[in-house]
Amino acid sequence: MDFAIKVGTSDKQRGACVVAGIFESRKMSETAKILDKATEGYIKNILASGDMEGKANTSLLLHNVPNTQFKRILLIGLGKEQEFKEKTFLSAIGSILNTLQKTAVTDVTLSLPDFPLKQKNSDWKVTQTAIAVSTSLYRFDQLKSKPDNDRSQLRKVVLCINDRAELPGCENALQQGLAIAKGMNLTKDLGNQAPNICTPTYLAKQAKDLAKTHKLKATVLEEKDMEKLGMGSLLAVARGSDQPAKLIVLEYQGLTKKDNPVVLVGKGVTFDTGGISLKPAAEMDEMKFDMSGAASVLGAMLATAELKLPINLIGIIPATENMPSGKATKPGDVVTSMSGQTIEILNTDAEGRLILCDALTYAERYNPKLVIDIATLTGACVIALGNFTTGLLSNDEQLAQELIAAGEQAVDKAWQLPLGDDYQELLKSNFADIANIGGRAAGTITAACFLSRFTKKYRWAHLDIAGTAWKSGKDKGSTGRPVPLLMQFLISQAK
């Protein structure tokens, strides 16, 4: 996909299609007014006919309009002008792309000032448009004998701005949007891949390939290495699988070695049956997405390297399957984590925290500036926040607020839940230092409380993406989240 940013009104361009916004009550955007004048009232007559009223997410494609340099004009409904917000902008861009996807249009031109966002400048619109276009074009059909036949013909997007002073910022914003989209696509590809293909060994190979193409340092620890380090908690989850566990480490250096790194830790359970605490059969196929945290770490590493951010970044991925077998860990087993803390495993389906805790302890050796773990950790988070918002818990309030702000900016929102001593009481065990579950109540919080026992030596935040990492139903597939949130946070940190 080619993008171009031009200074001036869109009517000065030429191509296959130009977009003109229409607000409710048939009020025309500036582009629509200019096109209407050039066509001697053609658009005004269309609006008078009642075919387009300007309601949000409506569209009307006009062909062969006289006195224009475009083969088509796409009228897009923008709703009420005084209520136009970020969500309306994203919906409008989505409607444009959905409409054009059903046509033979190869290029489209739109004017960003047509979208009146008081709180967001052109930079933001450029970034979001680049991500939206990539999302619209994304397909995962690698495993099909024939590619999907609904691929768009769109090959170029021209974005017009009025002020030449905005051009450098918009060009930078475009590069950010394209890098984030690339990271999201990698995350989606890994999440959507079949679990018989996407094993811990496969994830390790993807990390090594990424390191080769983007000059990263890749290290893969095998089970024997983890045994020497005392990672009894991680290995307890891997015990039931024939696939060997891996601890994958990627290092990106954008600053000097003395600068403390940001560390991302991603849960990489490439398939989760629940182990001996077996899950119900319904929708178990979606447990291939249980490595979405790991996939988002790889996506963020890719986007960071693409942008050459001035930051030191480390990605740590504990990767394993969680399978039932004669060797599998049983409810009631007690294991010793790398930190030396003992854990009573009351439910083998609460396995994500068991692999993360050893990875979080391993992160200490990098003397991190801060650590963020990303995990499809609890069904309780889906109950609490649905499929719209990522759960956030942290031992540092400033870090939590920075992540919330990044999510707001990236339209990839997170919501903070409490992390208090009262909840820690629910993890008491009669037979070990800590139990791996705390009962049904406050399941997302007690899972984070468990992880917090292993994060005493640094600033830490936990992102529970169980509700946001993938979609079910007819649109089943990875969303690429929370790569936008992570990248906005990292870009802010780099500044």
Give the whole-angstrom CA distance, residue 294 versus residue 281.
24
Six-digit token string for 172: 């930078």
Q: Which of 13, 30, 12 is nearest to 21 (CA)?
A: 30
> Which residue has 């925290």 as its token pair?
353
Sequence letter at residue 11: D
Output the furthest CA–CA distance in the chain (Å, rounded): 83
Q: Are 59 and 75 within 8 A, CB to CB?
A: yes
Which residues lie closer than 8 Å to 389 by C-beta, 6 or more apart? 413, 414, 415, 467, 468
**How far is it, in rounded angstroms, from Cα 108 to Cα 155?**
9
What's the CA angle centered on 151, arms 148 and 157, to 5 degrees?
160
Sign of the dihedral defined by the CA atoms of residues 203, 205, 211, 214, in that order: negative
Q: Taking Cα atoms as reference points, which of 53, 50, 43 lies closest to residue 73? A: 43
Contact 376, 466 (CB under 8 A): yes
Residue 147, number of CB atoms within 10 A of its CB:
10
CA distance 111 to 114: 6
Give me the phi and psi of 445, to 5 degrees please: -70, -45
Alpha-carbon distances, residue 481 vs 295, 361, 478 (angstroms): 10, 25, 8
The residues that are catalytic are 279, 353
The total number of residues written for the chain in this structure: 495
Q: Tokens representing 321?
A: 């399957």
Question: Are residues 477 and 471 in contact, defined by beta-carbon separation less than 8 angstroms?
Answer: yes
DSSP 281: S
